[in-house]
Amino acid sequence: MNFHGLDEWLTPLASALGAAVVGVLVYLVLRPIARRISKHAPVANAVNRQLDKPLRALFPLIAIQVVLEGAPDDLAHVDGVRQLVTVLVIAAFTSAAIAAVRGVADAVAVLHPQDVADNLEARRILTQTRVLARIAIGIALFAGVAFILMTFPRARQFGASLLASAGLSALVIGLAAKSVFGNLLAGLQIALSQPIRIDDVLIVQGEWGRVEEITSTYVVMKIWDERRLVIPLQWFIDNPFQNWTRTTSQIVGSVFFWVDYTTDLAPLRNEATRLAQGSKDYDGRVCLLQVVDTSERAMKLRLIVSSPSAGQSWDLCCLVREGVIALMQREQPGALPRLRAEINEPGGSPGSGRDLEARLAGRRTDRGTAEVNNDTGLTSLTAPTGGVLPPAEPPR
């Protein structure tokens, strides 16, 4: 730019600077008015707070854009400056749109707190809001980038050439971005149908945890031992999983015991009821001890107790399990499963303990006489052997 062109730019630059100052003053005047108006409206107040920074840049840029549109068209490099300011205005508008979406999401979170006993409805609304807000933010970013590219003539020509080969390009892009678009559509489906929500308790591939975050492409599940399981959204559409808080957080826990047939069940039932009723994790719906299976050695007991939530159910099951085991150790030590066996004498007549030990040791238990065979040197047993068999061959 030569000095003559610089002289021509003095008036437009001064006008643009004055317009920017006017834009800042308009922003400073409108900001307290908007805050006062939106003070008692949670949604408007949250949106107003989020729009504070984007509008601080948007007003001066709009004022500068208006001044530059009135500048002479033969001014040196005016087209480039106009395009630069247009790009900045589009970026500011995109930032304001994203801020407005975030403000609405924040207001919905404030209006539906999760720190209440029955937060099922709050979690449902919060899940929908977060997923839809992320989708809206993605659309705003995509639109902003598209509008910025449209300000460049070569980009418009590139778009026209792409449209000329739209069939092949759509096929290639569709195959390359299949997983991305699949997750986006899955996110929209999850937001509308809500098979999972924020803070839901899930069993996924054998892992127990809570839904900590739902993004536009994946779900973060916090495992009970503080690990994080990251799962694509499409997985929840294509695979079965357990949701313990789909309609309510109430749940019934199970505790199993194997006991001997001689066990007295009444004290066990009374102890289980006492432990459950004395616990803050018991909701009073179900406390039942039943024999659910038997074998040739023992019988299987199942104790079910109900709780308001999955975490409380785990603690309550551990409590009653420990308490019932302690009762059996203290009052019914014979309640553990036993292995029974009965040993009889040959012919059905029981013998003495010494005879049994001798038979097991391979010794004779009779008092009969025996003759010695001169050919083999063995003793010929003339009395009952008591279960001891002679050797198959004579010793050498």
Half-sphere exposure of 337 (CA within 13 A, CB side): 12
Q: Quick check: 125 pLDDT over 80?
A: no
pLDDT digits (tens, 9 = 90+) for 352-387: 556 655 555 556 555 555 555 555 454 444 444 444
Amino acid at 49: R
Per-residue confidence (pLDDT) for residue 321, from 0 to 100: 94
Q: Is 207 helix (H, G, I), strand (E, B) or coil?
A: strand
Specify the range with the lowest mean pLDDT, choosing from 69-73, 248-252, 281-285, 325-329: 69-73
Per-residue confidence (pLDDT) for residue 175, from 0 to 100: 53
Residue with tokens 């785990």: 314
pLDDT digits (tens, 9 = 90+) for 45-93: 788 888 888 888 888 888 888 877 776 666 777 777 788 888 888 888 8
Task: Share the mean pLDDT of the chain.
Answer: 77
Band of pLDDT at residue 120, cut at 50, 70 and 90: low
Per-residue confidence (pLDDT) for residue 32, from 0 to 100: 83
pLDDT digits (tens, 9 = 90+) for 11-50: 777 777 887 888 888 888 888 888 888 777 777 778 888 8
Per-residue confidence (pLDDT) for residue 53, from 0 to 100: 84
Strand partners, 220: 213, 230
Give the span between the Cα atoms of 380 and 368, in whole angstroms.
Answer: 11
Q: Backbone dihedral region of 20: left (phi > 0), alpha (psi from -120 to 50 degrees) or beta?
A: alpha
Give the span between the Cα atoms of 209 and 206, in whole angstroms.
Answer: 10
In this structure, the dihedral spanned by the alpha carbons of residues 9, 15, 19 and 22, taken in order and rounded to 10 degrees, is: 140
Q: Quick check: 260 pLDDT over 60?
A: yes
Per-residue confidence (pLDDT) for residue 3, from 0 to 100: 46
Residue with tokens 């289980």: 272
Please give the residue that has the higher pLDDT: either 333 or 191. 333
pLDDT digits (tens, 9 = 90+) for 95-116: 989 988 888 888 887 777 766 5
